[in-house]
Amino acid sequence: MLDAYELISQERIEDVHSDASLLVHKKSGARIALLSNDDKNKVFTIGFRTPPKNSTGVAHIIEHTVLCGSRKFPLKDPFVELAKGSLNTFLNAMTYPDKTVYPVASCNDTDFQNLMDVYLDAVFYPNIYRNEKIFRQEGWHYQMEKESDPLTYNGVVYNEMKGAFSSPEEVLNRAVFNHLFPDTPYGVESGGDPEEIPELTYEEFLDFHRKYYHPSNCYICLYGNLDMEEKLRWLDQAYLGAFDRIPVDSEIPFQKPFSGSCDVSMEYPVLEDEPTEDNTYLSESFVVGDYSDTLLNMSFSILEYVLLDAPGAPVKQALLDSGICKNVEGAYNDGTLQPFFSIIAQNANEKDKDRFLGIIRDTLEKLTVSGIPKKALYSGINYYEFRFREADYASFPKGLFYVLDMFDSWLYDWKKPFDYLKELQVFETLKQKAQTDYFEQLIRKWLLQNPHAAVVTLVPKRGLAAEQDARTARKLAEKKASLTPDQISEIIKETEELKAYQEAPDSPEAMDSLPVLKRSDISRSADLHLCTQECRVGETVFLKEKYHTNGIGYLRLMFNTEQVPDDLVPYLGLLRGVLGMIGTENYSYGELFHEINASTGG
């Protein structure tokens, strides 16, 4: 293709209607995956492997700070400004437990090019080295406006994570994750634990950027109807060509399997007037294989559906019938090196933990003997196949999801970016396997006989938040008492300076650096081409539309409601809502749910 790149592999992936290629930029070592197709909603993403070593939130703080101005775009907040004059269909950045990704999407060519430029300049040449205030603003800083004030912490990520740590569901998810993989980067909190964030120094923060934000550690994706050669040439000339390949140690290690399940009880804060009875979370989680097994991965999404999500699903139903909890949730967490499967009971009590575990075990054991109802399995398989084919992510571009799915294998095996885009064959295999005892064997192996598991109980405690705040306040009071008058003046001065920096408007030159779309960049024509055909079946009029739908037929039946009296009209919506969710002459409501999902998209 182009001299600056080595082509590693090339293939057609019919599942996502794309020509896929994997390349390496020879000089910098950057890996680039291309998905070329006719989708106008183009996506660009650059991601880095960013495994944290502690819970100071350094990966998360870097994500925030690189977006606070760069070499070519020295504004304080280029993305807020950019968003005002952009036609982007997606513009965001996300920190995960082992990676940080920067995706953008747009249907407009000029806009897309501008967004790529601003993002690449941000990640490779951020102003964080020139201006420590960016770190202090986004990460953490001491705050004190006058000498008589108490010393406090402030910072965008610091405050964000205080919020995140107050939701019990989040506390539970983090606890499960950290306890299943204690010896790996997954054992710490990539977003940052508010108690640890203030331990991060400016130098450590810069070191993290220096180490991981290099093309040799990056993963670039381009998706859509694009001139790929032109984009590759520009990437090389504008950014990648300036870097030489370096070794970057960012590999995510496997957790050594446990010899037996770990059992942890933790507390979470509730308000004084919130109940502590019937407010405990009971959970059991199992590590299931690794990222490389796409068949196993989909199998467990289907098992979650069959065992826990569907109405009347056996594990959920048994737990609800026992009366030990009011709600049951299943979760299959993929997108990490080693995925895991969780069963969570809400509104329960700690004393029922053994019953909770016993009911799960009994129900699963019975299922391995009696067999999972086939209808439920086919329904689960079809449910996921339909969603994969339809790729309808509401207002989000589907290319964004394809690109994010690629990281699920690519991050751990750089030669395999496309594994999770090839699901249709997986569904075909699973339909065959559903005829055997394949799923029952999976339950036996991964849920009943799997020692790499964690039982995490989350118990409510009144006053816990106040205790934590008091601990922080004590620590800060001690810190203040240890400061010399000069050090105190310094903090007061820094507080003022940060405020001044935040309040000062960007200079006109900085504002001018940002690309804005011109009217001529925007096409005057819309391009939705519908050609409706009208036909009749008996008395009924059918409007027929040919459209690219990936093998899915859409049928909408409309009933004339002219005869419904005015006072009953409000109930039509209610009727529409309950039909399909209640039993019928032929099926119970659980059976009907499977019938619907086994042959339609629901």
Nearer to Zn ion, 162 or 316 (CB): 162
3-state secondary structure of 157: helix
For 537, the token pair is 């079946």
> How far apart are CB 119 and Zn ion at their closest, in Å?
17
By beta-carbon proximity to Zn ion, the closer residue of 51 and 339 is 51
Cβ 69 to Zn ion, closest distance in Å?
17
Q: What are 532's strand-pairing partners?
A: 545
Name which of 15 and 138 has its Cβ closer to Zn ion.
Answer: 138
**Is the Cβ–Cβ distance between 33 and 22 less than 8 Å?**
yes
Please give the biggest Cα pair distance in the chain.
92
Q: Which two tokens stand for residue 258?
A: 């446990």
Rg (CA), the chain: 27
Of the listed 63, 304, 385, 423, which one is catalytic? 63
Closest CA relative to residue 133, chosen from 205, 27, 85, 192: 205
- As measured in angstroms, the least distance from the Cβ of 189 to Zn ion is 13
**Active site annotation includes 195:** no
Residue type, 541: V
132 is catalytic: no
Are the C-beta atoms of 506 and 127 separated by less than 8 Å?
no
Nearer to Zn ion, 160 or 290 (CB): 160
Comparison of 164 and 448: residue with beta carbon closer to Zn ion: 164
The three-state secondary structure class of 45 is strand
| Nearest approach, Cβ of residue 164 and Zn ion (Å) | 9
Q: Which is nearer to Zn ion, 160 or 437 (CB)?
A: 160
Measured from the CB of residue 194, what is the shortest distance to Zn ion in angstroms? 13
In 3-state terms, what secondary structure has residue 133? helix
> Residue number with the shortest CB distance to Zn ion?
160
* Comparison of 135 and 291: residue with beta carbon closer to Zn ion: 135
Q: How far is the CB of 157 from Zn ion (least distance, A)?
A: 6
Minimal distance, residue 331 CB to Zn ion, in Å: 22
Amino acid sitting at position 445: K
The CA–CA distances, whole Å, from 231 to 101, 123, 197, 587 equal: 19, 18, 39, 56
- Tell the smallest beta-carbon distance from residue 60 to Zn ion (Å): 6
Q: How far apart are CA 598 and CA 386, in angstroms?
A: 10
CB of 67 to Zn ion, least distance (A): 10
Q: State the Cα angle at 87 between 84 and 88, rounded to 5°.
A: 95
DSSP conformational letter for 542: E
Q: How far is the CB of 246 from Zn ion (least distance, A)?
A: 28
Please report, in angstroms and rounded to a whole number, the separation of the first and last CA atoms in the chain: 44
CB neighbour burial string for 362-386, b if at least 16 within 10 angstroms, e if fewer: ebbeebbeeebeebbbbbbbbbbbb
**Residue of 389, 431, 397, 398 lying closest to 551 (CA atoms):** 389
| Burial per residue of 200-238, b for 16 or more beta-carbon CB atoms within 10 angstroms, e otherwise | beeeebbebbeebbbbbbbbbbbbbebebeebbebbbee
Catalytic residue among 81, 138, 189, 284: 138
List residues near Zn ion by CB under 5 A. 160
Task: Report DSSP state, residue 351.
Answer: G
- What is the Cα 309 distance to its own chain's centre? 20
Tokens 């790499």 sit on residue:
452
Contact 338, 255 (CB under 8 A): yes
CA distance 312 to 328: 11
Question: No. of H helices and E strands in the chain?
Answer: 20, 17
Q: Which is closer to Zn ion, CB of 54 or CB of 216? A: 54
- CB-CB contact of 265 with 73 (8 Å): no
Nearer to Zn ion, 160 or 595 (CB): 160
Residue 331, phi then psi, degrees to nearest 5: -150, 130
Task: Return the SS3 of 595.
Answer: helix
Q: Which is nearer to Zn ion, 60 or 133 (CB)?
A: 60
What is the set of active-site residues? Answer: 63, 138
